Structure 1
Amino acid sequence: MSRRVSPRPRCDRCNLPSHLCLCAEIPRVETRTRFLLLQHVMEIAKKSNTGRVASLALANSRLLIHGSPVEPLDTAVLSEPGTWLLFPDGPTAPPDAPAPRQVVVLDASWSQARRMTQRLPVLRTLPRLVLPPPEPGLLRLREPTHPSGMSTLDAIARAVAMLEGTEAAAPLEQLAALRVQRIAECGTLY
């Protein structure tokens, strides 16, 4: 007879197990660029949900859910002027293009993100903000499935550095490193 183990309590805000809660360390990062996080419905309950943590840190952000059967996605916000898509391939903006006013970030696995771009035609029309591959030594919980793979929080930090400077991105980078460190120190208790 097996005994069912009840799940650890989670923080309602950052979704991490209560003993790993990052809420007290989440900075408030001001950016000129608006970040629109388009989160796949399957990411909502994941403990590794760094998109949620990023949206809590970014003052100029909005979190939308893709694939919810109860809340349809209003795609009009995706086609606002000056909107770019953070994605590793596709039509990049011309070198003389003005900086984006809004960046859409897909918070999903690679396969989910690809399907999102197929199912939302407006995403395919957006110029791409392409990040260089991550440097060796980037703290991670697991190896990525894509050569440019990194957590949503890491990707947003790198996009902020690219668009607004390394000083603006530093609090997000520190938060991402702290998250990985806490989870790694906790080991199997996660």
Structure 2
Amino acid sequence: MPEATALAPLAPHAVSRLRTTRLARSAKPFLARGGSKLERCAGCRLVSSHCMCALRPVLPRQPNQAGVCLLMADIEPLKPSNTGWLIADVVADTWAFGWARTEVDPALLTLLADPQWQPYLVFPGEFVAPERVVTELLPADAQQGAEAKRPLFVLLDATWPEARKMFRKSPYLDKLPVLSLEPDRISRYKLRRSRRDDHFCTSEVAGLCLELAGELHAAQTLEAYLDVFTHRYLQAKQQLPADAENAAHQQLKSLRLG
């Protein structure tokens, strides 16, 4: 697949804005551990020679019913390997907030209380009191209010130790139902190490949530987009050209045109 023409610049999405805010209070430049020192594209965070901005999914005219709220550990927005960016490129209703133990962004509390949304805190059920755990979306009669609400998936975007700390020390999340996913697959993420195949990256978790909400095209697009991002990230790291004709690129192209 030949490289697509560059897209016109888009307004920064939620993760991009959070990154800008976080950079503004950094005392020194962020250097990714083991990452390339070559110039990176501001749009996709890849080394400029492997930029994938022209492959950005085209958002549907009618937004998805589901939304995503990313609660991000301190330096997550700065990491080139962070996959929350990909979610914000695919799901129009994506919010991103930085997490701190001692304070909470009032805009996050406003979002969680918005009556159009039914928030779900996505976290493994084995670490949660059983009465809080759900494995499916709540039916309308189990939600607060008479009408069915749009699902809002709250994802803790962090390393696993950080995510467990965030879960324990965020009392404003304590009243949310905890959505425990039961995937029938193992993680395919290759950019960070994990000892367990059932530890999914943030983008993969969002894809599973979108599937559960019946947003199949968005879920498939996010999966293909992650595969393309992973391929280009690793090829750049190994100083090899990206294969724009591989299966991941072809899949993403078919979903973009579909």
TM-score class, shorter-chain normalisation, is 0.7 to 0.9
Contact 1:158 1:169 (8 Å CA) reproduced: yes
The aligned runs of 1:2-151 (5 Å cut-off) are 7-27=37-57, 28=59, 30-67=63-100, 73-74=105-106, 75-76=108-109, 77-80=111-114, 82-89=118-125, 90=128, 91-93=132-134, 97-98=138-139, 101-133=151-183, 135-136=185-186, 138-151=188-201
Question: Structure 1: which 4+ aligned runs deviate by more than 6 Å?
Answer: none
CA offsets per residue over residues 96-129 of structure 1, 9 Å max, x none? 8227521111111111111111221122321122
Over aligned residues, Cα RMSD in angstroms? 2.9
Give the total of aligned pairs: 184
| 178-187 or 45-54: bigger deviation | 178-187
Higher CA-based Rg: 2
Structure 1 portions without partners, runs of 5+: 1-5
**CA distance 1:95–1:21, change in 2 (3 Å):** closer
Letter in 1 for 2:89: L
Aligned to 2:244: none
Secondary structure of the structure 1 residue equivalent to 2:80: coil
Contact 1:134 1:148 (8 Å CA) reproduced: no
Whole-angstrom CA distance in 1 between matches of 2:216 and 2:186:
18
Structure 2 portions without partners, runs of 5+: 1-35, 140-148, 241-258
Secondary structure of the structure 2 residue equivalent to 1:8: coil
Contact 1:79 1:122 (8 Å CA) reproduced: no
**CA distance 1:19–1:144, change in 2 (3 Å):** same
Contact 1:110 1:146 (8 Å CA) reproduced: no
**CA distance 1:129–1:180, change in 2 (3 Å):** same
Q: Does 1:179 align with 2:229?
A: yes
Q: So what's the TM-score if we normalise by structure 1? A: 0.81
Displacement after TM superposition at 1:17 (Å) = 2.3
Q: Does 1:153 align with 2:203?
A: yes
| 22-31 or 32-41: bigger deviation | 22-31
Q: So what's the TM-score if we normalise by structure 2? A: 0.62
